[in-house]
Every structure is written in C-alpha cells, then in structure tokens.
Amino acid sequence: MKSPNPESLKLAKDISRPSAVFGVARVPGTSRTFLGNAEFQVCELDIAAAKPEAKELYKHESYVTSVALAENVLVSGSYDGKLKWWDIEKNVLIRTTDAHGKWIRRVIASPDGARIASVADDMVAKLWDAKTGAMIRELKGHELRTPQDFGSMLYAVAFSADGKHLATGDKVGHVVVWECDSGKQVGTFETPVMYTWDKSARLHSIGGIRSLAFSPDGTQLAVGGMGKVGNIDHLEGKTRVEVFDWQAGKQVAEFNGDKFNGLVNVLRWAPDGSWLLATGGAGEGHLQFLDVKAKKLLKAEKAPMHIHDIAMNDDATEFVAAGHNKMCVYKL
C-alpha cells in the first residue's frame, strides 16, 4: 500500500500539558494513549476526547523519559534507572526492575511485542522479555568516557522491522548494530559531525546521536542529531540526518537542515519507505519529511513545541507528537 503524501499533513488537535512530555505510546486502532512526563508520572489519556484529561497511573522517582507498549504491557523508563511494567488491561503495576546504573534514555518494544530494549548512560543496552521481565542479555559496545575523558551518554536505540537487529547510538556519534538472538556486533560506523566539543571556552560538549530508525526493508539505518554548534550553551546547530547502508558502513545520504535549528529526537520511515520523518526541536519544534532516495526535502513545517517523541499508526495516516507543554495530533 502506498504511504500518504506528506503534503497532506495537517494539525488535527493541540492538547496543552502542564509540563514536558518526554515519551508517548498509543494502543493500535484506538485513541488510548500513554505518556511519561517531567512530573515523574506515567499517565493515560484519550486523545479523541473533546477535552483530553490525563489520568495518573503511577510514578517514578525522576523524569519519565520513555514509554513503550508490548501488546497489553506498558513499560516505562526513567532517570531513576528503573523500568516499570504496567498491565493496561487490568490497570495494575506488574513489577519494578532496577534496570540501569544511570539515567535511562529510551525504552522501545520489538515489532512483535516479545522484547523490550532499554539504553542508559551506563552505556549499556539491555534486552528484556516483555512478558516475564527477565533480562535476556546486555549489549556493551559503547565507551563510558568521551575522548576528552567526560562521561558519555547513550541516547538512541531502534529495532529493525523483522526484529532481528538492534541499533544503538551514543553522544560521540558511534553507532553499533547488534544481532538480537546472539548479541553479536554485526556493524559499526561513526557520525562525528553530530558531536561538538568546545576545547577552549567551556571545556564542554553537546549533541550526540538522538534518534535511529531502520528502513522498512532493513537495509538502511537513519541517524538523527544536530550539526556542529558554535555556542554550546544553546541548541543552535542545524538539524542533521545521515542515512547509512549499515552493513557496508557507508553513508548513502545526508541532510543538513537549513530551515531549523536543534536536535532530531525522532525518526520514522513511511511504511513503504518513500519518505523519512525527522522531528525534534530547540526553542521551536520542527517536522521534516525527507526523500532519502532522491536526497531532497519534501516538506518542512514548524511545530508548536519542541518534540521529544511520536507515536505513529501502522499506515502512517496519523501520529501523536509529545513535547514541551503540548501534545499534538497530526493527520496525513
């Protein structure tokens, strides 16, 4: 089936929130939506309601940075290093797992819902059994320290569509592709432009790989972040996306954003691979649809907030964007 044309993009609903929303997940085929926020909460809301009101389900001990759905289980990750597992049918907390030694940055579910992957600033990716909560394996392929001997960060993780591979990306621009069943590294490459080190004024760094996405056929891997930054106290670098033939470790396309500053926090391919959505922000948010094959920008639109996460339906005709003090429903 042909994916919708990005030119049809329209904002269908704007939902105000009292704080930043960092993660969003949606039950397929419904308007039932879950979010994790800066108030340490995991909440549920009905985005189809005339006035959507969030209901708190449970709390973490710090920011909830990510939520993921695996069939009837919602898994949330937080800066407190814990994963919490919630049964969305019985509305009960199943378990709390001391998952990582540092801040959890992202939690995702495999396409078949059998596995959960989490990444954190302990620089470890972990695979979990979605039903039992048992850890399947640890994946260690990222350095704990940057080349300047500061602590690094592991921001991004993505499953391939067939669930056979997992990609992870860190602050200094190092990408590793793993074989899920064996835990072996099957590919690595670098995106150094996405990491800025200020060696004189501040002795500090900014940037890093913030998003990853395999193409639907699994042959390409898109990497999102930000270009080189002049003033590292601000997200003033241009948005940046690089696309690789990951098996060859060869870049096949790059997009140096000339319309928007800030990070690319989320990447999503069209189901037929005809476009790639890159979204994120700095002071303002952005939505950019990219034609990877033709290496051109199809559509760019300003978003009403810095976007941290999106939940897109299977045919890409609708997605929910979550960010600073807002959630938005877009239709294609």
**What pLDDT was estimated at residue 288?**
98
How many other C-beta atoms can be found within 10 angstroms of the C-beta atom of residue 19? Answer: 13
Which candidate, 12, 2, 4, places its Cα nearest to that of 299?
4
- The residue type found at 211 is S
pLDDT in tens, 186-225: 999 999 999 988 776 665 677 899 999 999 999 999 999 9
Which candidate, 64, 69, 74, places its Cα nearest to that of 103?
64
pLDDT in tens, 58-115: 999 999 999 999 999 999 999 999 999 999 999 999 999 999 999 999 999 999 999 9
Residues of the chain with pLDDT under 70: 200-204, 231-235
Pick the CATH number of 16-140 from 3.30.930.10, 2.130.10.10, 1.10.3720.10, 3.60.15.10: 2.130.10.10
Q: Which CATH architecture best describes the domain 142-301?
A: 7 Propeller (2.130)
Range(s) of the chain covered by CATH 2.130.10.10: 16-140, 142-301
Q: What would the two tokens of residue 164 be?
A: 């056979």
Give the gyration radius of the chain's Cα atoms. 18
Q: How far apart are CA 274 and CA 252, in angstroms?
A: 15
